[in-house]
Amino acid sequence: MTSPPPPPSPFSPPPSHPARVLICDDQELIRMGLRMVVDSQPDLTVVGEAADGDAAVAAVAALRPDLVLMDVRMPGRDGIAATEQLCARPDPPRILVVTTFDLDAYAYGALRAGANGFLVKDAPAEEILVTVRAVLRGEVMVGPALTRRLVERFVRHSAGAAATPARRDRLAALTERERDVLALVARGLSNGEIAGRLFVGETTVKTHLGRVLTKLGLRDRVHAVIFAYESGLVRVGD
């Protein structure tokens, strides 16, 4: 957040209904910096701040934000526990994990709890805004390279854990091509790379992945990666 906020983009959505953002971080300077960046845009507005997970949960209930910028390491209830509780709501906000490092182990726990992506605290203002808007559109902001590193961290953490029969049984619902796509997603390949590997179009890959998510009851690409390892479809060293 060292860069000054950019001017409002002419390509931003109309400012008549700005997206409501809640900032949760135990460091006042971080909250202040994020507020400056977010409030600089006509399509975004900060509706509140919280200094810990309990305050974030209470603020979401009271303010009903569209997006929460959630720190993970905070006193009291941390961002992982708060994320899990918020994602259990019938109308959960989108949650963007605010992490000091892009390999913060706590952030992976937050993704498993239901968060929608990563935001590195010292990212330039323009990158913050791109990430915020993408998550508000429903995208999961974890790129293929970061997915691969997420997998490596997750696998090291859960090495030796046996795949549960329930997860193995759920794999039976997939076609062979859908299993191929899921395995390649779990290895960190982008849709374009998967299309090249399987000699199909990128649109076809997206279709297969959408069917995988639907059949397995998974929310997004990140949870598909986790499921692939927990089910035994992909193993350490593959």
What are the counts of helices (DSSP H) followed by strands (DSSP E) for the chain? 11, 5
Q: Are residues 96 and 208 in the same domain?
A: no
Closest CA to 62 of 50, 76, 74, 71: 50
**DSSP calls for 158-224:** HTTPPPPHHHHHHHTTS-HHHHHHHHHHHTT--HHHHHHHHTS-HHHHHHHHHHHHHHHT--SHHHH
CATH of the domain at 215: 3.40.50.2300
CA distance 20 to 126: 18
Q: Which residues contact 226 (CB under 8 A, 6 or more apart)?
A: 112, 154
Q: Are residues 23 and 92 in the same domain?
A: yes
Q: Are residues 178 and 159 in the same domain?
A: yes
Q: Are residues 25 and 136 in the same domain?
A: yes
Q: Are residues 137 and 23 in the same domain?
A: yes
Residue 98 phi, psi dihedral angles, 5° rounding: -100, 115
Q: Are residues 51 and 67 in the same domain?
A: yes
Closest CA to 224 of 209, 202, 235: 209
* Model pLDDT, residue 147: 60
- Among 113, 141, 169, identify where a domain stops: 141
Closest CA to 114 of 227, 220, 190: 220
Segment 18-69, tens digit of pLDDT: 999 999 999 999 999 999 999 999 999 999 999 999 999 999 999 999 999 9
Residue 180 lies in a domain: yes
- Among 96, 114, 141, identify where a domain stops: 141
Q: Are residues 120 and 48 in the same domain?
A: yes
Q: Are residues 186 and 108 in the same domain?
A: no
| Structure tokens given for 184 | 């390649």
Evaluate whether 150 touches 108 at the Cβ level (below 8 Å).
yes
Q: Are residues 119 and 211 in the same domain?
A: no
Segment 173-224, tens digit of pLDDT: 999 999 999 999 888 788 889 999 999 999 999 999 999 999 998 877 877 8
∠ CA(183), CA(185), CA(186), 5° rounding? 65
CA distance 198 to 18: 42
CA distance 172 to 178: 11
Q: Are residues 63 and 171 in the same domain?
A: no
Structural domain boundaries enclosing 73: 19-141
Q: Residue 135: is its pLDDT beyond 70? A: yes
Over pLDDT 70: what percentage of the chain? 78
Residue 26 phi, psi dihedral angles, 5° rounding: -80, -5
3-class DSSP assignment, residue 68? strand
Higher confidence at residue 164 or residue 63?
63
Residue 12 lies in a domain: no
Strands 94-99 and 67-71: parallel
- Among 111, 141, 171, identify where a domain stops: 141
Q: Are residues 64 and 168 in the same domain?
A: no
Domain count, the chain: 2
Of the spans 37-51, 125-139, 141-155, 215-229, which averages the highest pLDDT?
37-51
Q: Are residues 121 and 223 in the same domain?
A: no
